[in-house]
Chains A and B, each alone.
Chain A
Amino acid sequence: AQKITQTQPGMFVQEKEAVTLDCTYDTSDQSYGLFWYKQPSSGEMIFLIYQGSYDEQNATEGRYSLNFQKARKSANLVISASQLGDSAMYFCAMRERYSGAGSYQLTFGKGTKLSVIP
């Protein structure tokens, strides 16, 4: 079973609108962290936002927020007021605290390609 599932291979959003990118995860650990990275067409991986499993508040970083629903095991990324520069691949990733190799690595989903339309 995949540990990180991103069900939207591609998404379109109108400039200045908000968009939600879906991410569900699978773990038996109680302690884990969830990350979102952005990969523009230039190829670099840019860290966006982090949510810990024990964090009571949803994480926010500027126009990025993470809609964390622990019981549903989902960690959706919300981008508000989309900009043309938001067009990129977006990856959800997880680090688990006690699951052997999972404690050291980030496990990534397959990504969602977001296209912002002017």
Chain B
Amino acid sequence: NAGVTQTPKFRVLKTGQSMTLLCAQDMNHEYMYWYRQDPGMGLRLIHYSVGEGTTAKGEVPDGYNVSRLKKQNFLLGLESAAPSQTSVYFCASSYSMDQGLGTKAFFGQGTRLTVV
């Protein structure tokens, strides 16, 4: 079982460069999420999607865009990277709330991004 797979695992960007992080899940989950993790801040939601073709802003969406053209994929884009976007990025997925409140989120292994 692959679960949730993130690509790439590591990346170094120069300020102003752009990049796309790919998240793929094979569990037929409706919901997908992008979080960032910074020391002392826990995980903060960037964007999320509740189904194919839908996206919504989370707590810290500025500087990021997302797309969910296929149910199994959720892309996170940085149009013009800034040092403040240096972080570990986690993708997660879960079944919808139709499965109940206890439907847990499955996480990818994380992407460590450094912007210099």
Contact = CB atoms under 8 A, between A and B. Distances in A.
A108 B101 contact: no
Interface in A1-34: 4, 6, 9, 31-33
Given A97-B101, A105-B48, A110 B107 contact: no
Nearest to A59: B102
B58 A95 contact: no
A111 B106 CA distance: 18
Contact of B42 (A35, A52, A103, A108): A108
Contact of B31 (A32, A50, A91, A104): A104
Interface residues of A, number: 29
A4 to B, nearest CB: 8
Contacts of A4: 42
Interface of B: 31, 33, 35, 40-45, 48, 50, 56, 58, 88, 90, 92, 97, 100-102, 104-107, 109-110
Interface of A: 4, 6, 9, 31-33, 35, 37, 43-45, 47, 50, 52-53, 91, 93, 95, 97, 101, 103-111
